Structures are given as structure tokens and as C-alpha cells.
Amino acid sequence: MAGEFLLMGVVNVTPDSFSDGGRFLDPSAAVAHGVRLAGEGAAILDIGGESTRPGADPVPAEEELRRVVSVVERLAAAGTRSRLSIDTSKAAVARAALDAGASYVNDVTAFRGDPAIAGLVAERGVECCLMHMLGEPRTMQEDPRYDDVVSDVKAFLEQRLAFAVGEGVPEERVTLDPGIGFGKTLEQNLELLRRLDEIAAIGRPVLVGTSRKSFLGKLTGRDVDDRLAGTIATNVLAYARGASVFRVHDVAPVRDALTVAAATVAAPWTTNPTATTRS
Ligand code: HH2
């Protein structure tokens, strides 16, 4: 059943992210962008210093630290109401970001890249998002195969949730993410969205990240900067299927769309004539 939703605004401090690479590499530009997204209604700002687009090369920890820590510090000092999330799979980067004011860890490897992250999340008592990815960014789009994509992703997320809990992370602090676009064909992405209720049935909040992704371009023929309509359609549908956290580049329009979707789902059936009166 659909209910409340949270928006996670993307702040990529990278030269090579697929949709905004290089735009916010300068820390001041990244901070200004984060403040803007916070003002638009992002409950969480997700700060990342390593692109995970298909084909991306890994970034050494020192470079990732250099990109993100000052941005986290300055966003924390900016006093927005948004919580700060660090988008990383390295414990050293997560630790420095938590020290600088972050309170959420978004790990696209679901604690497989650097298992020490799990203990850190447990020790600091922060929340985390665990995402499904098949393989690694460099090669993940090379012929991804599943027995049944939804059952396989669900089993993976259940197993990673169990790992996190075993490392001392309370279950209530974990959000799960099917990893749209991470080792999935167009059809596999669509099937995951269509059957998202099966992932939500695990019983943890579900995050989806469809924003501007290439499967939207494949369906519409639109370039990366022109995929907002597809982003909105998929987020509204995911909301209706039980997702509650939405990782997006365009916070204001997605917020409007989800506000309307949420009001519509929540509204009791009515024959009240004023409801159909146009002003
Ligand atoms: N998608 C991206 C990055 N991080 N985290 C979660 N939990 N879920 C996602 O779907 C997700 C994510 C990719 O988007 P973006 O950050 O815009 O691109 P890049 O990885 O090229 O920086």
C-alpha cells in the first residue's frame, strides 16, 4: 500500500557521472546544488565522488575523499534540513563522510565492496541503503542474465539484509534497492518496476533510482537531459508498487508528481460535487 515518500537528491562530485558529470566537481558548485535540492524538498542529499555508470573505472579512495569530504562538511554547515548521505562502497570514505556530518550510507555494492562498511554503519548507528548490482560497473551491462530477475534480486537483497543484521546493523536502519540499470537489460528493469511489490514484501523500505537512466532513453529516444517525463512515470509507478524513497536529479518536479500520486492514492472515493467543480 502506497504511503509517505522521501526524495533523495543526487549531488555528484564527479567528472564522469552519466548525466551531470563535471557540473558539480567544483565543491562550491556541488554545495550550491545541494542547498538548492534541499530547498526543493530533498529529505536526503546523496553525495557521491565515484561514478557507477556502466563502463566507469573505479576511483582510488584518496581521490574520492578529496571530492566528497569538503562538500559534506560545507553542506552540514549550511544548515539545510536534509540528511546527508554518502554514496560510496569504501569504508574509509564512509567514515570520513560520517565524521564530516553525514548520517546515511548508500552502498551500491550492498556491503560486498568493502565489508568493513557494515561494522561502521552498526557502530555509528546510522541508516543505510543496500542495492543490488550484477557484477561491477565496468562490465555489468555485458549480457546480464537471471533465472527470474525479480526473484533473484529479492533473494540477493534478503541475503545482504541478513549479512548487515549479522554485522550488528538493526534491520530498521536498512533500506533496500533493486538497482535499476545495474546489470539489467531494458526488459529486466521494466520487470523489476512492474513487480516491485515483490521486493517491498521483504518488509523494508524500498528505494528506486530511475532518474535519467539509459533504459528511459531506449524507450523514448530521448537524450540524458530530456528524460524527466520518463523519470516521473517510473517513480510514480514505483510509488504505487510500494517504493518510498526516490533517488532523483530533478527534485522539484518529481516531488510534485509524487505529491499528486500520494494524494490520489490516499483520497477516499467520493461523490462530493465540489470535487468535480473547476475554478
Ligand atoms: N544510481 C546511481 C548511483 N547511485 N544508488 C542507489 N541506491 N540506487 C541507484 O539507482 C543509484 C545509486 C547512478 O546514478 P548517478 O549517480 O546519477 O550516476 P553516476 O553513477 O554516473 O554518478
Q: Which tens digit of pLDDT belongs to each residue from 166-212?
A: 999 999 999 999 999 999 999 999 999 999 999 999 999 999 999 99
Kindly report the average pLDDT of the chain as a whole number.
Answer: 94
pLDDT(279) > 70: no
* Residue 218 among the catalytic residues: no
pLDDT at 269 over 60: no
Helices (H), 116-272: 116-124, 149-166, 186-194, 196-200, 214-220, 228-240, 251-266
- Lowest mean pLDDT: which of 5-9, 138-142, 221-225, 259-263? 138-142
Residue 265: pLDDT band with limits 50, 70, 90: confident
Say if residue 230's pLDDT is above 50. Answer: yes
Return the ligand 1 atom nearest residue 129 CA. 7
CB 210 within 8 A of CB 193: yes
Asked if pLDDT for residue 261 goes beyond 90, the answer is yes
From 90, 213, 241, 255, active-site residue: 213
Q: 16: which 3 cell numbers?
A: 564522469
Q: Which CATH number fits domain 6-265: 3.20.20.20, 3.30.300.30, 3.40.50.2020, 3.40.190.10?
A: 3.20.20.20
Q: Ligand 1: which residue has its CA nearest to atom 10?
A: 209
Distance 274 CA to ligand 1 centre (A): 43
Nearest residue CA, atom 9 of ligand 1? 209
Query: What letter would DSSP give residue 173?
Result: G
Q: Distance between CA 94 and CA 10 in Å, rounded?
A: 17
pLDDT at 255 over 90: yes
- Find the angle CA(77)-CA(81)-CA(82) to the nearest 5 degrees: 90
pLDDT tier for residue 60 given thresholds of 50, 70 and 90: very high
From 74, 83, 247, 255, the catalytic residue: 247
pLDDT at 278: 45
Q: Please state the pTM of the whole predicted model.
A: 0.94
Q: Is residue 234's pLDDT more than 70?
A: yes
CA 176 to chain centre: 10
What sign has the CA pseudo-torsion 114, 147, 18, 121? Answer: negative
For residue 197, the CA-to-ligand 1 centroid distance in Å is 21
Do 41 and 8 form a contact (C-beta atoms < 8 A)? Answer: no
pLDDT over 50 at 1, yes or no: no
Q: Is 213 a catalytic residue?
A: yes
Terminal alpha carbon distance of the chain = 32
Residue 98, classed as helix, strand or coil, is helix
